[in-house]
Amino acid sequence: MTFTAAQLSNAVAIAHKYIEKNVPVLFAMAHPLMDKMMERKEYADGERLQFPLNFNKMQNVGFISGTTADVIDTNTQQNLTYAELDWKKWNEGFSITLDELVRASGDNAVKNIITAKTENTLESIKDFIQTGFYGSATTNTLAFNGLADIFAASGTAYAGLTDTDFGNDVAGDNLFLPNIDTTLHYCSYSNISPKITKIKSKGQGAPDYMISNSNVFQAYKSIMQAAGQRYVGETELKSGFDSIKVDGVTWLADDYAPGTSSSTQDNYLYIISSKTFGIKYKFGFGKASPMDSDNILIPNQPVIFKNKYGAANIYCNNRRLNAVFKALQPSATS
């Protein structure tokens, strides 16, 4: 007995429902930061993704005498501006050819083909998510505006704005630019802790996550072990990632994070305030695209396929509450 056309169509439909159900799970499982972003994901409409930036303090807040000598500032002020990003589109799906069905021997073989294609699709989506999260729409205009764009250097536009469009806070730090270090190479507590303290001094409960590749992560643990310091290892819910706490901030190892080797000065360590990050979507995540297709049989080709489309992007609405080391060398000794 072999699959009928109806049975094959039904099997492919079930596989795609399974894939669709697991796409949000894969986003959440990338690491706990992505999990938090998925918890706060928002549907948005419009030609472009817009989000507000609170870039200036209210000028009519201050001490007064409470007498008629006071003149209250009632002038209108611009305290918010809007940043804009493009929607990033993607598709997910798979096809089955007549040749594959001919080569398959029996119903179980056909089921195995569909199962293997489902697993491969999910693994490919996971890789696409994690690569896109660290990537840049500058180098690939179709990609997410990932961490490479969010942590871009001074003078580089993000979401249509540059740091030169903004003033500085009371500490002299730019109101739009993240804290970027390109000089320190040693993965020590004495180098990393001051950066955490700097971000924490800006208030608002920041930061709560650090992310690096395993080379940087292991180098730090080795240095701290040699120094006789202990850090309790934890595993964040849903992630399966090893983590340690540094000054109360969870540090995650993720080999999708930038860096080429333990001997080069190009390894990154991100210090992130998760509440400044988010995901907005137009299609996907439960909202179907009008271009979604079900079990399409191409008239002039022996292929059956089904595609789902999504449109979304990652954003950061307060870059200054985040920091990054861009030149760490895990093998450095001082």
Q: Is the pLDDT of residue 171 over 90?
A: no
Q: Best-predicted range by mean pLDDT among 89-93, 236-240, 273-277?
A: 273-277
- Residue 167 within any structural domain of the chain: no
The reported pLDDT for the residue numbered 236 is 43
| Shared domain check, 92 and 42 | yes
- Residue 69 within any structural domain of the chain: no
| Shared domain check, 209 and 92 | no
| Shared domain check, 108 and 225 | no
- Residue 120 within any structural domain of the chain: yes
- Tell me the whole-structure pTM to 2 decimals: 0.85
- Residue 190 within any structural domain of the chain: yes
| Shared domain check, 322 and 189 | yes
CA distance 207 to 12: 44
Give the total number of structural domains in the chain. 2
Is the four-CA dihedral 186, 188, 191, 195 of positive or negative sign?
A: positive
| Shared domain check, 226 and 264 | yes
More confident residue, 299 or 175: 175
- Residue 163 within any structural domain of the chain: no
Domain with residue 239: its CATH number is 3.30.2320
- pLDDT tens figures, 126-160: 888 889 999 999 999 999 999 999 999 999 999 99
| Shared domain check, 130 and 36 | yes
- Residue 174 within any structural domain of the chain: no
Residue 75: pLDDT band with limits 50, 70, 90: low
| Shared domain check, 272 and 225 | yes
- The label of the residue with tokens 């696409």 reads 128
- Give, in order, the Cα–Cα distances in Å from 239 to each of 2, 34, 127, 195, 301: 40, 10, 15, 25, 41
| Shared domain check, 109 and 197 | no
Which residue range forms the structural domain that includes residue 19?
5-54+83-141+278-315
Residue 33: pLDDT band with limits 50, 70, 90: confident
Residue 95: pLDDT band with limits 50, 70, 90: confident
| Shared domain check, 249 and 218 | yes
**CB-based burial label for 170 (10 Å; 0-12, 13-18, 19+):** exposed
Phi, psi of 101 (to 5 degrees): -70, -35
| Shared domain check, 259 and 311 | no
In the chain, the percentage of residues whose pLDDT exceeds 70 is 85
Which residue type sits at 171?
A
- Residue 117 within any structural domain of the chain: yes
| Shared domain check, 109 and 28 | yes
CA distance 12 to 128: 22
| Shared domain check, 199 and 118 | no
- Residue 160 within any structural domain of the chain: no
The mean of the pLDDT values for the chain is: 84
Which residue type sits at 48?
R
